[in-house]
Chain A
């Protein structure tokens, strides 16, 4: 499997955020997107996920069959997509069943996924009672309970402590060894070795050139 985009240009409210960007990530690779605030990291991830239509250029995912790229992707955005009134396991159960794609195989069960993110025994607690870091870890567990080959991670380690960061690196490594594709936008080092890097410049420069 290989995800690639060529000459990608994305506009948001009349402003060119990304212009003529090309890169590719193959199975088992991690692409780390860095750059200052507002340089288009999140926009790039959303465009790959199919949530924003690019102005020009194309995005391709090989071996995706007749699915759209978005349907092959797990998207971890700034929000965690957890309902505060539902318990942790109810939240995960819903996404597990709703996002399931049979041809990519089954994901982990909820208990072992929560264990991997270091949150055992909290599955009955309403998600609204969790701290920001705990919510983030439940959102990361969402990537594990249902299998999708491409992970789009937007500031994945924002609210995490050191220990959770290490756990997170292990999870991404596991995904990579499984032949998955990972694209992460971040300011912090993710503790991963052998990653591809993509540096985005500030928009002002792009507008001038």
Chain B
């Protein structure tokens, strides 16, 4: 399983991999916002956490299309199915690799982008914490979408449409928790714990659902 993780990470950083595309898209979204809403620094700071979360969410969805499709096209998926490793575990490891290659760079880049949105340090830290807790859920739900659309040539948008209703709660609780960390009456811990709960829930449901779909699409 560790070899699979190593292979996926290598593929992500080599030519044609998706590791940097996510961060670049994130950068594009976040830099465009101030041009759109104008130079009102207070307004930027207020919508900052929401914009960072939306940017991160969209960047995560960007690379999901290739999660299983690349393996299906070159025949690797069939061999993955014929190994004696459970497919659920294979899916989980691929999700972990996707998160490490796409999700983690976003979180590392968040402080820089947070400054661009005129956010105070405490709020940036809060957004980072919620992204760490919440982005794995996006990958795990996305894996199900990627498995459903694995045999479709242009499945990317379809994944987004299938997956968005499921990740909206993640977005809501992520942003709520981030605001809760700095605004006094709003609580931080309850939405944050719900966010963690969603990630844990999808880490069980996601691999099983995706594996079931992949077995169906094996030929």
Chain A residues within 8 Å of B, Cβ to Cβ? 12, 46, 49-52, 67, 70-71, 73, 75, 77-86, 90, 93-95, 97-99, 101
**CB–CB A52/B218 < 8 A:** yes
**CB–CB B74/A82 < 8 A:** yes
**Number of A-B residue pairs with CB-CB distance less than 8 Å in the complex they form:** 72
User: 10 A-B contacts, Cβ less than 8 Å apart?
Assistant: A12-B219, A49-B78, A51-B82, A77-B75, A77-B78, A79-B74, A83-B74, A98-B80, A98-B85, A99-B79
- A51-B218, A71-B83, A99-B83 known; A94-B78 Cβ under 8 A: no
User: B16: CB under 8 A from chain A?
Assistant: yes
**CB–CB A70/B219 < 8 A:** no
A102 to chain B, nearest CB (A): 10
Cα separation A110 to B218 with both chains bound (whole Å): 28
**CB–CB A51/B84 < 8 A:** no
Going nearest first, the 8 A-B pairs with the smallest beta carbon separation are A79-B75, A85-B14, A81-B75, A70-B82, A97-B3, A51-B218, A81-B76, A71-B84
B20 to chain A, nearest CB (A): 14
* Chain B, range 60-108, C-beta contacts under 8 Å to A: 73-76, 78-85
Cα separation A98 to B80 with both chains bound (whole Å): 8
Cα separation A179 to B47 with both chains bound (whole Å): 68
A95 to chain B, nearest CB (A): 7
Residue of B nearest to A152 (CB): B82
User: B32: CB under 8 A from chain A?
Assistant: no
**CB–CB A94/B7 < 8 A:** yes
Cα separation A56 to B96 with both chains bound (whole Å): 38
B112 to chain A, nearest CB (A): 28
- A71-B84, A94-B3, A97-B3 known; A83-B11 Cβ under 8 A: yes
Contacts A77-B78, A80-B75, A99-B79 supplied; 7 other A-B pairs, CB < 8 Å:
A75-B78, A75-B82, A83-B7, A83-B74, A94-B4, A94-B6, A97-B3
Annotate B185-219 by CB proximity to A: 1 below 8 A, 0 otherwise.
Answer: 00000000000000000000000000000000011
Chain B residues near A99 (CB-CB < 8 A):
79, 82-83
Chain A residues near B11 (CB-CB < 8 A):
83, 85-86
**CB–CB A71/B75 < 8 A:** no
A155 to chain B, nearest CB (A): 13
Cα separation A81 to B77 with both chains bound (whole Å): 8
B178 to chain A, nearest CB (A): 36
- A51-B218, A86-B11, A86-B14 known; A80-B74 Cβ under 8 A: yes
Chain A residues near B14 (CB-CB < 8 A):
85-86
